[in-house]
């Protein structure tokens, strides 16, 4: 991403506020190309009250990537669409992993907290190196009341 744009962590990064002419100029392409990409589902523009397309900085970055993949790497638009879809899935999976790791860390902290409160922490289970081959047979009690 170029230094001229706000960072992806900035709140304005996702805001759909750029008119099609501005987004096209920022992406280095013709507005008609943006319309075509929108129809193909490569980028999803927001809509203004009057029905005009609105783009975010994120969309402009995506449009530049579409252009790079198609022009520089020679990938057709169907391939570009597939790549973008897979990148979105990967991003979602990475976010989920990060969330799950945070939950796991919190669970480990809670376990440590609870163990520190116990009168004999860590003594419920005693590790042993011995393995047993003993067979235990269980028989139910017989009802002696008849």
What CATH number is given to the structural domain containing 103?
A: 1.10.1660.10
Measured CA angle at 14 (ends 12, 15), to 5 deg: 65
H or E stretch at 77: helix 77-117
pTM of the complete model? 0.61
CA separation (Å) from 21 to 16, 40, 55, 68, 110? 13, 19, 10, 20, 53
> What is the reported pLDDT for 93?
97
> What is the reported pLDDT for 139?
82
Identify whether 47 is part of a domain. Answer: yes
Residues of the chain with pLDDT under 70: 1-11, 119-127, 144-146
Identify whether 124 is part of a domain. Answer: no
Residues 6+ away with beta carbon under 8 Å from 23: 34, 55, 59, 60, 63
How many helices (H) and strands (E) would you count in the chain? 4, 3
10 Å CB burial of residue 64 (0-12, 13-18, 19+) is middle
> Domain span at residue 44?
11-113
| CB-CB contact of 14 with 52 (8 Å) | no
Instruction: Show the tokens assigned to 35.
Output: 């319309």
Identify whether 142 is part of a domain. Answer: no
Q: Domain count of the chain?
A: 1
Query: Which of 20, 22, 25, 21 has its CA nearest to residue 43?
Result: 20
Identify whether 77 is part of a domain. Answer: yes
Identify whether 126 is part of a domain. Answer: no
> What is the reported pLDDT for 143?
76
Identify whether 45 is part of a domain. Answer: yes
Identify whether 49 is part of a domain. Answer: yes
DSSP 71: I
> What is the reported pLDDT for 145?
65
Identify whether 101 is part of a domain. Answer: yes
Instruction: Show the tokens assigned to 48.
Output: 């203004």
């Amino acid at each position: 991403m170029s230094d001229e744009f706000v960072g992806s962590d900035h709140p304005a990064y996702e805001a759909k506020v750029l008119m099609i002419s501005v987004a096209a100029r920022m992406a280095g392409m013709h507005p008609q190309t943006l319309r075509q990409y929108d129809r193909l589902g490569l980028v999803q523009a927001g809509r203004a009250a009057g029905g005009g397309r609105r783009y975010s900085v994120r969309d402009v970055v995506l449009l530049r990537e579409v252009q790079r993949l198609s022009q520089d790497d020679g990938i057709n638009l169907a391939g570009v669409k597939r790549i973008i879809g897979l990148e979105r899935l990967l991003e979602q999976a990475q976010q989920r992993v990060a969330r799950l790791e945070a939950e796991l860390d919190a669970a480990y902290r809670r376990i440590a907290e609870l163990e520190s409160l116990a009168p004999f922490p860590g003594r419920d289970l005693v590790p042993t190196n011995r393995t047993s081959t003993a067979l235990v047979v269980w028989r139910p009690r017989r009802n002696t009341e008849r």
